[in-house]
Amino acid sequence: MEESSVNVINLNQCDEEFIKELEKFGAEELKECIQCGKCASTCPMALAGLDFYIKRIIHAATLGLKDVLLEDSSVWGCQSCNRCVEICPMDVKPYEVIQAVRRAAVRVESCPANTYEGLRNLYKNGHAVFPKGFEERRKKVGLPEKPPTLVSHEELRKKFQEVLKQTSLADVAPFKLD
Amino acid sequence: MEEVKGYVGNFDIKIKKKAKYVDWDKCIGCGVCTEICPVKVPNEYNYGLNQRRAAYIEYPQAVPKKAVIDEPNCLYFKTFKKTGKPACQICEKGIPAKNIQGCPADAIKFDDRDEFVDIKVGAVIIATGFKPMSKTHFKEYSPQSPDVITSMEFERILSATGPTGGELKRPSDGTKPKTIAMISCVGSRDERYHSYCSKVCCMYMLKHARILKEKYPYINLYLFFIDVRTAGKDFEEFYVYTKGLGAKIIRGGRVSSVDEKPNGKLRVRGFDVDLGSPVELEADLVVLATAIEPPDGVDDIGRLFSATCGREGFLREVHTKLYPVETAARGVLIAGCVQGPKDIPESIAQSRAAASSAASLIIPGKIKFEAIVSEVDREKCSSCGVCVPLCPYSAIKIETYKDKEKAKIEPALCAGCGVCASACPSRAITFHGFTTEQVIEQISALVEA
Amino acid sequence: MKQVGLFLGCNIPFNRPDIEYSARYILKELGVDAVDLEGASCCPAFGTMPSLDIEGWAAASAWNLVLADEKGIDLVTGCGSCYGSLNEAKHHMESHPELKEKVNQIYAKVGKEYKGTAKISNFINFLYESVGLENIKAKVKNNLNGLKCAVQTGCHNLWPSRAYPSNEDNTFYPKRMREICEALGGAAPHYSAITDCCGMGALRSNASDKSLALFKKKLDVIKEELDPDICVIGCSSCLLQFDGGQALLAEQKKLNYQIPALHLVQLTALALGADVDKVAAFAKIPLNGVINKIKGGN
């Protein structure tokens, strides 16, 4: 039988260090939020019906509810549309809070598998989106099989990889940067 | 207000009375000129929702009820400036060919000039009110739509003397709206505009809702709040009563967008914290409760009297709790929204407090000053003048003393800040109560203790 | 001859090279020299480096900006995400000099330097400002003949406006794409959901059903309010949703209508005389009605 749980969040689990971590990761204006709800009325995550959407994420963050946030994968459904940033009356930059939660989550490997797939593609080919069969498609419209990007430039790709090796990708990637 | 001289008990004020081009001693307020004038311009009093003539009475209840001619728009003045010849003059002479009479009181006075009046007063109360924000700032709320209006404009539409004569009509097509959305906190609680709460919006939104629901019970009315702030005597009861009339309250979600539909309706998107969900609504009319702002020119008035403005641009009281109607300039008092957003009961209480304070200042005929003021030793003064522009209260003047130019501090204006004393290169200014010797003594005493 | 660096990104060269074809076609027709940015990378996408930290994001974006700096050109892209990611990274570096310095410490190791001289535009602003409506009008070979267009600018092409070098007067009431469609001979009325998110992006990758439901809501509004001949899209990601996502919804029997969708550069290419088989080689929703209308039918 599935274990049932009650619908109560324990506020004593507030983790002040987590709040500081989020601020460090770009959620600098987190505490300015007055929960007016303007972002939530237009956030695609809220409109689409994800459990956690911008307003709730920011509130949970200010309460330091680390486990609640990191156990939920909603942040990875953020469209980065930045409409919240554009309209936020307190200039909280809500999107930066989402990114901060992602940045904290990825360090405890709490992210969807396709995140790593994108990172692997980016590192290996220089392109996060790298679908099969593109050569045929390009030929059909009379373009060269490979675009003039990193896929066509081996030497530059190595340099690009050198750049990425100097970033936090080196600490976070669950694959070898070689 | 053109010029202010003097200080508490002895203000000399020069007031400019703008040329009205109507002789107010003769004008009987009959309104003939306001009907026959051929020039139509947007009516400021109704926020441009209808038009007035170039000869007009500001509003039906104006006191005194007298007409004025709006010079920049008047045909007579426009033509005269261009050609040097008189034109129109219909307000004065009427249109004899059509048997239309001009001003019956012979009050039109095209050669009227600005007048200057000098008055002497002991105290001044500044009560210049506020300005509601315009909708143009709020691009996410479709300000280009004529059916998105501010609460002040809506107030005019509801008024029997307003642009529609009290009939509920939407500006675009004159139809009666079936669904109305009201949005709170537009420009208030908003770092991009005003961080403060405008305080009166929640209640006037409820007032509008009550008027509407009592008069038109079948209208669908949605009020979008962040929080419903109804602190004040009988206010919460008013809220509950209005809800009872059927006004729908949406809480916890500032509206994010108002979008125009091709059929002329408006899509409103908000968030309902009680439903825990985004909500949307198709409305015929959207009313924005825009923030209360300091009136234009308040900083100029403040400067005239050496009264200071706060960060948000309202005139600042000396102490929020102990001196709520006094400004940094003695004898200059404030009342109403020029000090910050407030409602009618509070404005009245404050203006009575200001009137009492003014009376208690001037009725005795003498004024007591604090002893903590600065004084210039004119023998030591080198006449450099450094202190003059530094004084925030304009209390220092250069005067002739023993045939030389020397600084003098007017004790009635000095507020005892000490800026001049610390800046004087000749050490000619003594700050009574805080002389160098006294300060050193205090430090020694502290060190010993 | 005017020059511009063509920033391809990922989706355009790999998934929808017909957009790349169209972009090259219109630039040539409009007398603009499209310079290839040899060795360009992903912008990077928001779910990758930007989700690790700002420094990594800036370093990865700077790769492309450095390539543009080296050639002394500005960039134009047909992808909203690329437009957003590159501009935001640049904005972060401009407003935080210490970040720019860190990025340059990394680039010194590969013998390069980020200067930040290149501007990044999208095709909407490029056509509207750098080319101009009159110049576009002058080059039209196939007038759109009143084709009714529902335009979708795309979120990233509008916000965050603080990071963008040029933008709409009112980003919540966009007009530039509408005016471009009109310059091509089409009609492009405003509709209430014009700035609504189409659902493409991380939502589509991580909650596909919800993403498609959000898209359907938008499409239903478009159908109800405008009933257009075509949806014209300013962002390649949005186009994947409007075309591929719509085909998916149709497959799932969740739609009882279909509206063809093209990227703005594809529609422009059609109007400027390009061959429809190449311009819309991978469009999943048939374009027969659109082509008929342009040819003068109804």
- Give CA B396 to chain center in angstroms: 31
Note whether C55 and C152 are same-domain residues.
Answer: no
Instruction: Supply the pLDDT for residue A3.
Output: 67
Note whether C91 and C159 are same-domain residues.
Answer: no
Residue B388: strand, helix, or coil? helix
CB C105 within 8 A of CB C35: no
Q: What are phi and psi of C186, to 5 degrees?
A: -95, 175
Give the count of domains, chain C: 2
CB C85 within 8 A of CB C43: yes
Question: Which residue intervals of A8-112 are DSSP H helices?
Answer: 16-24, 44-48, 54-62, 66-71, 83-87, 94-106
Q: What is the DSSP string of B418-434?
A: -HHHHH-TT--EEETT-
* B190 contacts on A by Cβ (under 8 Å): 89-90
Q: Do A47 and B278 touch (CB under 8 A)?
A: yes
* C173 contacts on B by Cβ (under 8 Å): 139, 142, 144
CATH number at residue A32: 1.10.1060.10
CA of B93 to nearest chain A CA: how many angstroms apart? 56
Nearest-5° Cα angle at B444, B440 to B447: 140
User: For chain A, what is the largest distance between any 2 Cα atoms, rounded to a whole number of angstroms?
Assistant: 63
Q: What is the mean pLDDT of residues C99-119?
A: 97
CA of C113 to nearest chain A CA: how many angstroms apart? 12
pLDDT higher than threshold 60 for residue B261: yes
Pairing between strand B332-334 and B124-126?
A: parallel
CATH number at residue C39: 1.20.1050.140
Q: Tell which wins on pLDDT, A1 or B429.
A: B429
- Residues B403-420: pLDDT tens digits? 999 999 988 888 889 999
In a domain, A5, yes or no: no
Q: Do B255 and A47 touch (CB under 8 A)?
A: no
CB A56 within 8 A of CB A63: no
Of the candidates B140, B257, B261, the beta carbon closest to that of C225 is on B261
In a domain, A2, yes or no: no
Instruction: Give CA separation, B10 vs B13, B325, B331, B412, C61, in Å.
Output: 10, 19, 9, 10, 68
Q: Is the dihedral of CA C47, C52, C55, C59 positive or negative?
A: negative
In a domain, A134, yes or no: yes
Which of A7, A28, A34, A41 should one mutate to test binding to chain B, selecting the residue with the greatest count of B CBs within 10 A?
A41
Which subunits sit against B, judged by 3+ Cβ pairs under 8 A? A, C
Instruction: Supply the pLDDT for residue B393.
Output: 84
User: Which residues are within 8 A (CB) of A103 and not within 5 positions of it... i.e. 6 or more apart?
Assistant: A25, A26, C51, C52, C53
Q: Is the dihedral of CA A149, A154, A159, A162 positive or negative?
A: positive
Note whether C273 and C156 are same-domain residues.
Answer: yes
Q: Which tokens is C152 given?
A: 């979708």
- Residues 220-259 in B contacting A (C-alpha not used; CB under 8 Å): 226, 252-257
In angstroms, how far is the first alpha carbon of chain C from the final one? 39
Residue C143 touches chain A, beta carbons under 8 Å = no
Of the candidates C170, C190, C226, the beta carbon closest to that of B139 is on C170
In a domain, C84, yes or no: yes
Instruction: Supply the pLDDT for residue A1.
Output: 52
Owning domain of residue A142: 113-172
Instruction: Supply the pLDDT for residue B449.
Output: 81
Instruction: Supply the pLDDT for residue C37.
Output: 96
- Residues B69-84: pLDDT tens digits? 999 999 999 999 999 9
Owning domain of residue C282: 141-294
Residues of chain C with pLDDT > 90, as a percent, come to 96
- By C-alpha distance, the chain C residue nearest B137 is C170
Q: Do C202 and A149 touch (CB under 8 A)?
A: no
- Residue B7 — very low, low, confident or very high, per pLDDT cuts 50/70/90? confident
Q: Which tokens is C27 given?
A: 């630039």
- By C-alpha distance, the chain B residue nearest C172 is B140
- Residue C297 — very low, low, confident or very high, per pLDDT cuts 50/70/90? low
Q: What is the mean pLDDT of residues C237-244?
A: 97
Give the single-character DSSP code of C243: I
Q: What are phi and psi of B55, to 5 degrees?
A: -100, 120
Note whether C159 and C266 are same-domain residues.
Answer: yes
pTM beyond 0.80: yes
**Bond from prior residue into B324 cis (ω within 30 degrees of 0):** no
Q: What is the mean pLDDT of residues B420-436?
A: 92
Q: What is the mean pLDDT of residues C271-282?
A: 96
Q: What is the mean pLDDT of residues B241-266?
A: 96
Instruction: Supply the pLDDT for residue A7.
Output: 85
- Residues 35-94 in B contacting A (C-alpha not used; CB under 8 Å): none
CATH number at residue C209: 3.40.50.11810
CB A86 within 8 A of CB C160: yes
- Which contacts of C294-298 are long-range, i.e. CB under 8 A and separated by 24 or more positions? C294/C142, C294/C143, C294/C144, C294/C145, C294/C147, C294/C270, C295/C142, C295/C145, C296/C145
- Residue B335 — very low, low, confident or very high, per pLDDT cuts 50/70/90? very high
CB A123 within 8 A of CB A169: yes
User: Which residues are within 8 A (CB) of B259 and not within 5 positions of it... i.e. 6 or more apart?
Assistant: B142, B266, B267, B269, C172, C192, C193, C194, C195
Which of 3.90.1150.10, 3.30.2040.10, 3.50.50.60, 3.40.190.10 would CATH assign to domain B131-293?
3.50.50.60
Cα C288 to Cα C278: distance, rounded to the nearest angstrom: 14
Note whether A93 and A117 are same-domain residues.
Answer: no
pLDDT higher than threshold 90 for residue B42: yes
Torsion angle, alpha carbons of A110, A111, A112, A116, to 10: -120
Which of C172, C190, C218 should one mutate to test binding to chain B, selecting the residue with the greatest count of B CBs within 10 A?
C172
How much is the ipTM here?
0.94
CB atoms within 10 A of CB B288: 30
pLDDT higher than threshold 60 for residue C188: yes
List the domain boundaries for chain B: 19-113, 131-293, 374-448
Cα B32 to Cα B159: distance, rounded to the nearest angstrom: 23
Strand-pairing partners, residue B259, are: B267
pLDDT higher than threshold 60 for residue C298: no
Instruction: Supply the pLDDT for residue A6.
Output: 85
CA-based R_g, chain B, Å: 28
> Each residue's pLDDT tens digit in chain A (178 positions)?
556 778 899 999 999 999 999 999 999 999 999 999 999 999 999 999 998 899 999 999 999 999 999 988 899 999 999 999 999 999 999 999 999 999 999 999 889 989 999 999 999 999 999 999 999 999 999 999 999 999 999 999 999 999 999 999 999 999 999 8
Of the candidates B189, B257, B277, the beta carbon closest to that of A36 is on B189
Residues of chain C with pLDDT > 70, as a percent, come to 99
Give the single-character DSSP code of B58: S
- How much helix, strand and coil, in percent to the nearest 5, is found in chain C? 50, 10, 40
Q: What is the mean pLDDT of residues C62-86?
A: 98
Q: Is the dihedral of CA C275, C276, C281, C282 positive or negative?
A: positive
Give the single-character DSSP code of A4: P
Note whether C102 and C161 are same-domain residues.
Answer: no
CA of C73 to nearest chain B CA: how many angstroms apart? 34
In a domain, C133, yes or no: no
Of the candidates B140, B261, B263, the beta carbon closest to that of C172 is on B140
Q: What is the mean pLDDT of residues C104-125?
A: 97
- Residues B284-333: pLDDT tens digits? 999 999 999 999 999 999 989 888 899 999 999 999 999 999 998 889 99
* A156 contacts on C by Cβ (under 8 Å): 38-39
Which of 3.40.50.300, 3.60.21.10, 3.30.1330.10, 3.30.70.20 would CATH assign to domain B374-448?
3.30.70.20
Note whether C101 and C227 are same-domain residues.
Answer: no
* A128 contacts on C by Cβ (under 8 Å): 10, 42, 44-45, 47-48
Judge whether B131-293 and B374-448 match in fold: no
Q: Which residue is it, tokens 């006294």?
A: B438
Looking at A106, A138, A161, which one is the last position of a domain? A106
Q: Do B185 and A32 touch (CB under 8 A)?
A: no
- Residues 183-222 in C contacting A (C-alpha not used; CB under 8 Å): 195, 197, 199-203, 205-207, 210-211, 213-214, 217
Instruction: Supply the pLDDT for residue A66.
Output: 96
- By C-alpha distance, the chain C residue nearest B260 is C192
